[in-house]
Structure 1
């Protein structure tokens, strides 16, 4: 039995386990299992695979997408540039173990964003600059989309939320929420941007997928903006993980 799993803490709510186990059942894959490994300290990570040759890969989630890099032997091009990993392969040859990290969040974001892009979508406003934003910034750079980062404090971004005005909103027709604001159960919250200046030329993308339509997206929808949640991105990165792991089986 091949083992795959997700590391992070806490892991009380995870899309990944249900997704992969359902996939395995649907596709009659009987020799692979996927489970959750809630580790309180990233230094517990090697204990999972060092003495268990069944492990072939991991997903990584909060808060370890950056700190796990210190345990890896190699990074893919995008993972190295982004500085965050959400997918790992475990390769074994004789007694040597080789861990390689990937970032499939960027793949998922790019593939779900590009079909929505129109001629009006020339600059992006990125809300938040934590780990979730890293793949978004990488994708914007790759697609040649200039961006400004909005943070709560001036020293951690280009702009603060208080700086936002009509001119800035007019000039940034792609707005991506990379913050956790609005995630269930706090569905009555949204990033504090001047929604009155949103128009039908805007594209609002929320990395959040629970709830399906956040208050951020509802406010954009009320202004006839194009809206998109993070669910397709999640599916795309999950399928990409599976492709990467399968090559290593």
Structure 2
């Protein structure tokens, strides 16, 4: 794989789409740390996560590495205290700034689709991953257990800072967080074996397709003909790009710029 290797462990970087964007900032609220995680609500045990995994399995998720990641990562650690009782329900939850943490079943489906595109030489790993839309960091924590390296980009400074704080307590050292415009991807560490996006637009940005490695796979929501969104899978091989549309989904809109 060509390209300069990412700097690990977890680090803070920034890219911007224009000089003007450097002047725009949103004050970041104090992020909840591991010490602030809810206690005494019965969510710190593995049992409650195993029940979520059982529901995912009953819903059709079969990839054992994906299920193991869901069993290991505490979802309640990544949601606001008031929403902790709903953390292991199959529902999207608000994380502030008009963004959400996606339903576990949708995240699991997207991760399984990424694995469907990996060949035996990948050794059961998603390889080098680009995540568009860090959000609160939950999906990045899952990806860290499934990949060799994760580069995750977030356009909202407040969410970037929150994810950086929350992920610092997770026992992984292969995640790099980037503050920047996700539509641009992250060229310094391209190409990527897998790309996953947590926001959908009218079309897939050319930058994402350009940064997808030969043999790689991209999974992202995309506006469907007639309205709504569907999951789209794009594979790159020596002959070019192949695209498939899958089931309907609902994600936040893909937007440009940093704030």
Higher Cα radius of gyration: 1
Considering Cα pairs closer than 8 Å and 6+ residues apart, tell me whether 1 or 2 has the greater RCO: 2
Does the alignment reach a TM-score above 0.5? Answer: no
Q: TM-score, normalised by structure 2?
A: 0.39
Q: TM-score, normalised by structure 1?
A: 0.40
Greater helix proportion: 1
